């Protein structure tokens, strides 16, 4: 908001202007693919690491130093604001977020705690420390979308098809409404805290949106995602919206007020652009499976993605979902060098 990163490749591209080079960063670029991350994480719990401003800042900077990506994304997790509100949630290695007790009834929802004043101070401190060191390189702040958070809260942990959550939205729409409003406010506050502390863009992750029909998305989900994104509506930062398996719902996801759409690997960028009516910059969409392929195979795929991205008003290169933990980090560095050399 102070203009420090306004001329960066990422921010100008998010604002719709194509520059001489395509900016590139990777979802989940900070994490287990990096030996320097694994070294820092010895002896601490994931959520504790996220809430240690020195550690979260250092981990955020690692992929910027190593790969020369055009942006950092704050090292945290979508469940951090739930934890800070007082929800009994933990991250189980190799599994993901797990709740002490699933949230399923009207009484469970009514008992959900609100974020106490000052609860996000460790997040703000971590972001402030990070942007100070990043200088002109932008930091992306992020948050989980209410549906993806609800999928964890209602199921009590990771699930494939989010059946209990999707049952609840129809079986008890009032409880669903209260739960998603709660999630939107908590996650919106998390996003806002990051932007106020210096993040230059805001990305909403609706990772599990692909399990929804378009009808369910528009009638039971979109309004709450809008409420979450509206938490930063008065702040002058580009807003990115990303989902996995989002082909059917892309235009509806954009319509809640996104400036940039993240696209997963299932549809070419040119097709995503067609579905969106050519209206917004796109971000994506290297197939994460290709990261383990020999370089010539991956290189050809990256060039294909760049070519397809030419159809959109502007393009930020990324993956179609997060970096798999067993990825050889040199593959990521090679992608950055390739994209920057063109």
Residues engaged in binding ligand CP3 (CB under 6 A): 27-32, 41, 46, 73, 75, 77-78, 91, 93-97, 142, 144, 148, 205, 207, 322
**Residue 244 CB, nearest approach to ligand CP3 (Å):** 6
Cis check: omega of the bond before 285, within 30 degrees of 0: yes
**Residue 311 CB, nearest approach to ligand CP3 (Å):** 25
Told to judge if 41 belongs to the known catalytic residues of this protein, a careful annotator would answer yes
Say how many C-beta atoms besides its own lie within 10 A of residue 303's C-beta. 13
**Residue 65 CB, nearest approach to ligand CP3 (Å):** 13
Instruction: Please tell me the distance from the alpha carbon of residue 132 to that of residue 79, in angstroms, as a whole number.
Output: 25
**Residue 307 CB, nearest approach to ligand CP3 (Å):** 26
**Considering 14, 37, 152, 224, which one is annotated as catalytic?**
152
Give the number of C-alpha atoms closer than 13 A to the C-alpha of residue 212, restricted to the C-beta side.
28
Q: Which is nearer to ligand CP3, 174 or 319 (CB)?
A: 319
Told to judge if 275 belongs to the known catalytic residues of this protein, a careful annotator would answer no
**Residue 237 CB, nearest approach to ligand CP3 (Å):** 16
**Residue 258 CB, nearest approach to ligand CP3 (Å):** 16
Q: Which is nearer to ligand CP3, 97 or 329 (CB)?
A: 97
Say how many C-beta atoms besides its own lie within 10 A of residue 277's C-beta. 9
Q: Which is nearer to ligand CP3, 124 or 270 (CB)?
A: 124
Q: Which is nearer to ligand CP3, 6 or 40 (CB)?
A: 40
Q: Which tokens go with 201?
A: 């863009």
Instruction: Please tell me the distance from the alpha carbon of residue 136 to that of residue 139, in angstroms, as a whole number.
Output: 9
Which of 94, 92, 112, 93 is closest to 102 using CA atoms? 112
Q: Which is nearer to ligand CP3, 229 or 341 (CB)?
A: 229
**Considering 32, 266, 275, 334, which one is annotated as catalytic?**
32
Could you tell me if 264 and 182 are in contact, meaning their C-beta atoms sit under 8 angstroms apart? no
Q: Which is nearer to ligand CP3, 3 or 100 (CB)?
A: 100
**Considering 41, 266, 275, 334, which one is annotated as catalytic?**
41
* DSSP annotation string for 290-326: GGGS-HHHHHHHHHHHHHHHTTSSSEEEEESSPPPTT
Told to judge if 266 belongs to the known catalytic residues of this protein, a careful annotator would answer no
Q: Which is nearer to ligand CP3, 144 or 281 (CB)?
A: 144
Q: What angle do CA 179, 184, 190 make, to 5 degrees?
A: 130
Instruction: Please tell me the distance from the alpha carbon of residue 92 to that of residue 217, in angstroms, as a whole number.
Output: 29
**Residue 300 CB, nearest approach to ligand CP3 (Å):** 25
**Considering 77, 185, 259, 264, which one is annotated as catalytic?**
77
Residue 172 class from Cβ within 10 Å (0-12 exposed, 13-18 middle, 19+ buried)? middle
Give the number of C-alpha atoms closer than 13 A to the C-alpha of residue 157, restricted to the C-beta side.
10
Helix H segments across the chain? Answer: 9-14, 35-40, 46-50, 53-67, 80-85, 106-110, 121-134, 146-155, 163-171, 173-196, 214-220, 222-229, 250-255, 269-275, 295-309, 329-340
Query: Which residues carry out catalysis?
Result: 28, 32, 41, 77, 152
């Amino acid at each position: 908001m102070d203009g420090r990163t306004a001329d960066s490749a990422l921010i100008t591209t998010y604002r719709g202007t194509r520059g001489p080079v395509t900016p590139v960063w990777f979802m989940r670029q900070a994490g287990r693919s990096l030996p320097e991350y694994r070294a820092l994480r010895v002896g601490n719990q994931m959520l504790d690491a996220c809430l240690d401003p020195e550690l979260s800042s250092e981990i955020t900077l690692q992929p910027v130093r190593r790969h020369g990506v055009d942006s950092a994304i704050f090292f945290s997790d979508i469940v951090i604001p739930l934890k800070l509100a007082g929800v009994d949630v933990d991250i189980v290695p190799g599994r993901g977020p797990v709740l002490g007790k699933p949230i399923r009834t009207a009484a469970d929802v009514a008992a959900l705690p609100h974020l106490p004043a000052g609860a996000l101070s460790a997040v703000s401190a971590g972001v402030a420390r990070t942007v100070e060191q990043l200088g002109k390189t932008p930091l992306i702040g992020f948050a989980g979308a209410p549906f993806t958070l609800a999928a964890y809260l209602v199921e009590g942990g990771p699930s494939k098809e989010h059946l209990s959550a999707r049952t609840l939205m129809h079986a008890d729409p009032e409880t669903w409404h209260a739960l998603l409003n709660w999630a939107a406010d908590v996650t919106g506050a998390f996003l806002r805290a990051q932007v106020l502390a210096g993040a230059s863009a805001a990305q909403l992750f609706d990772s599990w949106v692909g399990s929804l029909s378009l009808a369910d998305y528009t009638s039971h989900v979109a309004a709450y995602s809008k409420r979450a994104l509206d938490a930063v509506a008065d702040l002058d930062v580009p807003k990115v919206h990303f989902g996995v398996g989002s082909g059917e719902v892309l235009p509806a996801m954009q319509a809640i007020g996104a400036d940039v759409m993240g696209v997963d690997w299932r549809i070419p960028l040119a097709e995503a652009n067609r579905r969106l009516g050519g209206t917004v910059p796109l971000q994506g969409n290297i197939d994460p499976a290709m990261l383990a392929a020999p370089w010539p195979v991956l290189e050809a795929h990256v060039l294909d993605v760049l070519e397809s991205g030419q159809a959109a008003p502007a393009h930020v290169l990324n993956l179609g979902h997060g970096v798999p933990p067993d990825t050889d980090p040199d593959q990521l560095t090679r992608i950055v060098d390739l994209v920057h050399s063109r």
